[in-house]
A and B are shown apart, each in its own frame.
Chain A
Amino acid sequence: MPHSVDSPSSAPATASRRVFLKQLAAASGSLPLGQALAGGTAAALLLQAPDAAAATTKAPVINTVYGYESFGPDEAAFVESMLNIMCPADAHTPNGVDCGLAIYIDRQLAGSFGQGARRYAAGPFLQGAVQCGPQLPLTPQQYFKTGIAEADRAAQRLHGQLFDALSPEQGNAFLQQLAAGQIQGEQLDLGEWFNSLVYPLFCEACYADPLYGGNVGMVFWKMIGYPGLPATHALDVVNYLGKPYPGRATPKSIADFS
């Protein structure tokens, strides 16, 4: 099994989110981080947003659910770094963590999806045509975590640092290489891992109903103009034929009707 990514043999990741979190935990005596932090999130503090006070007044809706069910600290550090690279804070959305993307993936992996519900799991596990789909004796949660550990060791091998210690540019390039199948795993096909498991979870986290913890404030629905629920459009389909649909700016989610 993989060695602990907490004890890299060289190049201690002093700048990493993980070390930062540990220091903070030691100082405050608890994780996760609470509302006292500027901007409401650890990420905001980490980035040392120059105008945190202004950010709170304009207050985009951000994730307020803290604490992971599935991830250990190293896994959380990897996933949070990855999601903030794949979804940087920009004119469209807050960063990935603030959008709830990490909470979404954590909860999916902890729940029935991650446990392999409704997925055929009987052996033998033979390798063959990729068109048959993955043939691994792993649940999605185990697969995800095994992949993180391997990817982190690959980052260590290639860059001398764990993934979350890479600069955003380095991290992005690393993810591009992962997606292109250019980073060799030890036992896993890391390209397959990223494309068949990680990337779909990322898209779901962005675009699923906020019920599941991602897409906080329906920020991705607003970004593209998806109006959400309840969608009774028998008249709209005539009235807005070829025209912008006004409801696109104010989507509704399951919570709004529950």
Chain B
Amino acid sequence: MKQRASKTVVIVGGGLTAGLIARQLTAKGCEVLVLERGGDHSKGPESSLPNQRDELRWAVRQGLIQDWSRETYTLRHQHNQTALPVRWMESFLPGQGLGGAGNHWNGHLWRWAEYDPQLRSHYERRYGKQAIPADMPLQDWGVTYAEMEPYHDLFEKLFGVSGQAGNIDGKKLPGGNPFEAPRSGPYPQAPLHVLESGLVFKQACDKLGYHAFPQAAANSSGAYTNPDGQKLGQCQYCGHCERFICEANAKGSPQVLLYPMLRQRKSFEVRLNTQVLGLRYDAQGKRATAVHCLDLLTGEEYEQPAEVIVLAAFTMSNAQLLLHSKIGTPYDPVSNTGVVGKNFCYQVNTGVDLFFKDKWFNPFLASGSTQILIDDFNNDNFDHTGLGFLGGGTIQAYQFSGRPIKGRRVPDGTPRWGTAWKQANADWYAHSMSLGVEGSCYPHRGNYLSLDPTYRDVYGRPLVRMTFDFRANEQKMAQFVSGKMMEIARHCGADKVGSLQGLVVPFDSRIYQTTHIVGGTIMGETPHDSVVSPHLQHWDAHNLFVVGASVYPHNSGYNPTGPLAALALRLGDDLLRYLQAPGRL
């Protein structure tokens, strides 16, 4: 196979993490090549008025999402079942094209709890070693929040994050999240506007003694110039954010803030329409030597050698590339050995709709992150003694869009068509709001990724097989936190409170829940229990690094973007050190 000229650093996947790593490396003149399977969205109808505002094309028909005809995943709930391919995925939405899922994300930004990277130690310390069930392989990450804090800070400045700090250097600030990990400074921009739904929710939370605060967001509350001189416009609250590209450049996104700048740098190159099919691995030398590429425009296959290779693709693709390239030992849940594919986690979602005859919520006046929420029942922010589960979730009044195909609410018992259906839509569209829970999902011995023995992608590679279900711990947690949500719902003064939309069990690929899937190439302190080291270096190939939510050993009740961005920026700096003296970091 044809070989191209070797590059210093080759990054697989042109999304958020690749852009952040490349920012650190190219600032020092280091040569970086990014390989992205999709094209450039920046000049298309997806980024221009009026077609950007097309719910059917982008949100329903998934115009920015991975092409499932080329590559999908198979699903089974238990190890002993035969998995079937998900022929059209709704539950989570990987991106395609420069910017990746960073194009169509909502923009919620979290730093996780200070104890999240030491979650096992934390629980053992608080509740004793017996508190963690044997089939829940929680583990510490091998990195501390304090080590990540400067990178969180940098990322928030790069992405112009809008928010209200709750904890600066240990000092609690009114209006912010009292459970927030200590920050070195405030958010770069003021929080987004609070909507009527947020006011209703906050009032109820105040009555109940809970601590409501606005979501920190990469949706820019004002015009903003970041430390690199890159600019964000002011958010227009257009209600076309998640599943859409922001045509106003008001959502912190890699294709707005990173790639245009990187493409001006001499040592940076991005190769679009380039599908990575696998890695070449020298098992004796313990090195990844090259990336196997397919040029999707010409059909040419070639090998791209590199001194350093970084996997920065979506969670599933990172695991797939390692499994398919036979790097590292695949996880086996029966013998409980191996690591690749281990600790695959999703996230818990529940909700309830509220209806008020006399309140105007104007659901279409919204950004992707206009929500007020509480962190009181998330993670281990409350005492779990005697509850029979670990973890928790945020509870929020979210208002992201009033897009009419998918974003209408009607009371329970409304017919599904006919004049009464129309009447209910007319009556309640502007007069309803929703509460939701976004909850943690801890690892389970039986939840993992592997290669499917039957189904293949369009390139002939085995599909990734998900063996996943929400287990007893997550079901109990969902019930508990949903109970708290329903208590708040009853205190909102609604004319009608809908019934609880509980956790859907078994896991259902047909329902959108969240794109926050994590694990499969997890980080940890030893090769015995992790794929990559605390520096994201592969234990079996010292010049191979993996970054993204795929390295999280558990999922918290927070959106994953903050820590993965911090880890990516840190990796960029680590790689500069590595290139000085290649070896174990």
Which of B84, B193, B408 is within 8 Å of A237, CB to CB? B193
**B335 contacts A by Cβ under 8 Å:** no
Beyond A120-B87, A133-B510, A202-B417, whether A226 also contacts B404 by CB under 8 A is: yes
Q: Determine the residue in chain A with the shortest Cβ distance to B362.
A: A245
Closest 7 CB pairs of A and B: A257-B50, A224-B429, A86-B417, A231-B238, A207-B404, A132-B84, A233-B237
Which of A118, A122, A129, A179 is within 8 Å of B455, CB to CB? A122
Complex interface: chain B residues within 8 A of A221 (CB): 404
Which of B83, B236, B429 is within 8 Å of A234, CB to CB? B236
Decide: B509 and A133 in contact? CB cutoff 8 A.
yes
Beyond A86-B417, A257-B50, whether A234 also contacts B196 by CB under 8 A is: no
Decide: A92 and B82 in contact? CB cutoff 8 A.
no
Beyond A129-B81, A131-B75, A234-B234, whether A90 also contacts B419 by CB under 8 A is: yes
Complex interface: chain B residues within 8 A of A121 (CB): 69, 87
Decide: B69 and A119 in contact? CB cutoff 8 A.
yes
The B-contacting residues of A in range 123-176, CB under 8 angstroms, are: 124, 126, 128-135, 172, 175
Name 19 extra pairs, CB < 8 A, besides A133-B509, A230-B49, A233-B364.
A90-B422, A118-B68, A119-B87, A120-B68, A120-B87, A132-B83, A132-B509, A133-B89, A204-B60, A204-B405, A207-B408, A209-B54, A224-B404, A226-B429, A234-B234, A244-B360, A245-B360, A245-B365, A254-B51
**B contact face: mostly helix, strand, loop, or mixed:** loop
Beyond A119-B68, A133-B509, A229-B50, whether A128 also contacts B81 by CB under 8 A is: yes
Q: How far is the CB of B454 from chain A (nearest CB, A)?
A: 7
Q: How far is the CB of B254 from chain A (nearest CB, A)?
A: 23
The A-contacting residues of B in range 329-363, CB under 8 angstroms, are: 359-360, 362
Beyond A92-B419, A226-B364, A240-B362, whether A118 also contacts B510 by CB under 8 A is: no
Which of A130, A196, A238, A242 is within 8 Å of B359, CB to CB? A242
Decide: B88 and A126 in contact? CB cutoff 8 A.
no
Complex-state Cα separation, A85 to B416, whole angstroms: 12
Partner-B contacts on A (CB < 8 A): 85-88, 90-93, 113, 116-122, 124, 126, 128-135, 172, 175, 179, 196, 199, 202-204, 207-209, 211-212, 220-221, 223-234, 236-238, 240-245, 248, 254, 256-258
Decide: B81 and A131 in contact? CB cutoff 8 A.
no
Q: How far is the CB of B136 from chain A (nearest CB, A)?
A: 23
Complex interface: chain B residues within 8 A of A242 (CB): 196, 199, 359-360
Complex-state Cα separation, A209 to B418, whole angstroms: 21
Decide: A135 and B237 in contact? CB cutoff 8 A.
no
* 24 A–B contacts, CB within 8 A, in A order: A92-B419, A118-B67, A118-B68, A121-B87, A128-B82, A129-B77, A129-B84, A131-B506, A131-B508, A131-B509, A132-B76, A133-B87, A133-B89, A135-B85, A175-B417, A204-B405, A209-B55, A226-B364, A226-B404, A231-B240, A240-B365, A241-B193, A244-B360, A254-B53
Decide: A232 and B236 in contact? CB cutoff 8 A.
yes
Decide: A122 and B456 in contact? CB cutoff 8 A.
yes
**A contact face: mostly helix, strand, loop, or mixed:** loop
Complex interface: chain A residues within 8 A of B430 (CB): 224-225, 244-245, 248
Complex interface: chain B residues within 8 A of A85 (CB): 417-418
Q: Determine the residue in chain A with the shortest Cβ distance to B511.
A: A131
Beyond A92-B423, A231-B53, whether A132 also contacts B239 by CB under 8 A is: no
Decide: B404 and A233 in contact? CB cutoff 8 A.
no
Which of A122, A204, A226 is within 8 Å of B402, CB to CB? A226
The A-contacting residues of B in range 203-249, CB under 8 angstroms, are: 234-240, 248
Complex-state Cα separation, A116 to B70, whole angstroms: 12
Beyond A88-B419, A231-B240, A245-B362, whether A224 also contacts B426 by CB under 8 A is: yes
Complex-state Cα separation, A220 to B423, whole angstroms: 11
Q: How far is the CB of B119 from chain A (nearest CB, A)?
A: 29
The A-contacting residues of B in range 509-534, CB under 8 angstroms, are: 509-510
The A-contacting residues of B in range 405-427, CB under 8 angstroms, are: 405, 408, 416-419, 422-423, 425-426
Complex-state Cα separation, A128 to B81, whole angstroms: 9
**B187 contacts A by Cβ under 8 Å:** no
Complex interface: chain A residues within 8 A of B75 (CB): 129, 131-132
**B575 contacts A by Cβ under 8 Å:** no
Q: How far is the CB of A255 from chain B (nearest CB, A)?
A: 8
Q: How far is the CB of A194 from chain B (nearest CB, A)?
A: 10
Q: Determine the residue in chain A with the shortest Cβ distance to B194.
A: A241
Q: How far is the CB of B414 from chain A (nearest CB, A)?
A: 13
Complex interface: chain B residues within 8 A of A257 (CB): 49-50
Q: Determine the residue in chain B with the shortest Cβ distance to A233.
A: B237
Q: Determine the residue in chain A with the shortest Cβ distance to B61.
A: A113
Q: Determine the residue in chain B with the shortest Cβ distance to A195.
A: B416
Decide: A237 and B76 in contact? CB cutoff 8 A.
no
Complex interface: chain A residues within 8 A of B55 (CB): 207-209
Complex interface: chain A residues within 8 A of B76 (CB): 128-129, 132
Complex-state Cα separation, A149 to B471, whole angstroms: 41
Decide: B50 and A258 in contact? CB cutoff 8 A.
yes
Decide: A236 and B237 in contact? CB cutoff 8 A.
yes
Decide: B360 and A223 in contact? CB cutoff 8 A.
no
Complex interface: chain B residues within 8 A of A117 (CB): 69
Q: Determine the residue in chain B with the shortest Cβ distance to A124.
A: B454
Complex-state Cα separation, A105 to B360, whole angstroms: 33
Q: How far is the CB of B475 from chain A (nearest CB, A)?
A: 15
Complex interface: chain A residues within 8 A of B365 (CB): 233, 236-237, 240, 245
Complex-state Cα separation, A228 to B365, whole angstroms: 11
Complex-state Cα separation, A8 to B236, whole angstroms: 57
Decide: A233 and B195 in contact? CB cutoff 8 A.
no
Decide: B56 and A204 in contact? CB cutoff 8 A.
yes
Q: How far is the CB of A33 from chain B (nearest CB, A)?
A: 25
Decide: B405 and A207 in contact? CB cutoff 8 A.
yes
Complex interface: chain B residues within 8 A of A87 (CB): 417-418, 422
Complex-state Cα separation, A243 to B125, whole angstroms: 51
In this complex, the member of B62, B82, B85, B86 whose beta carbon has the largest number of chain A beta carbons within 10 angstroms is B85
Q: Determine the residue in chain B with the shortest Cβ distance to A232.
A: B236
Decide: B85 and A237 in contact? CB cutoff 8 A.
no
Decide: A119 and B88 in contact? CB cutoff 8 A.
yes
**B440 contacts A by Cβ under 8 Å:** no
**B559 contacts A by Cβ under 8 Å:** no
Decide: B69 and A120 in contact? CB cutoff 8 A.
yes
Complex-state Cα separation, A244 to B425, whole angstroms: 16
Complex-state Cα separation, A253 to B25, whole angstroms: 45
Decide: A223 and B53 in contact? CB cutoff 8 A.
no
Q: How far is the CB of A181 from chain B (nearest CB, A)?
A: 13
In this complex, the member of B75, B83, B84 whose beta carbon has the largest number of chain A beta carbons within 10 angstroms is B84
Q: How far is the CB of B81 from chain A (nearest CB, A)?
A: 7
Complex interface: chain B residues within 8 A of A122 (CB): 85, 455-456
Decide: B236 and A120 in contact? CB cutoff 8 A.
no
Decide: A231 and B416 in contact? CB cutoff 8 A.
no
Complex interface: chain A residues within 8 A of B72 (CB): 120
Complex interface: chain B residues within 8 A of A229 (CB): 49-50, 53
Complex-state Cα separation, A86 to B84, whole angstroms: 34
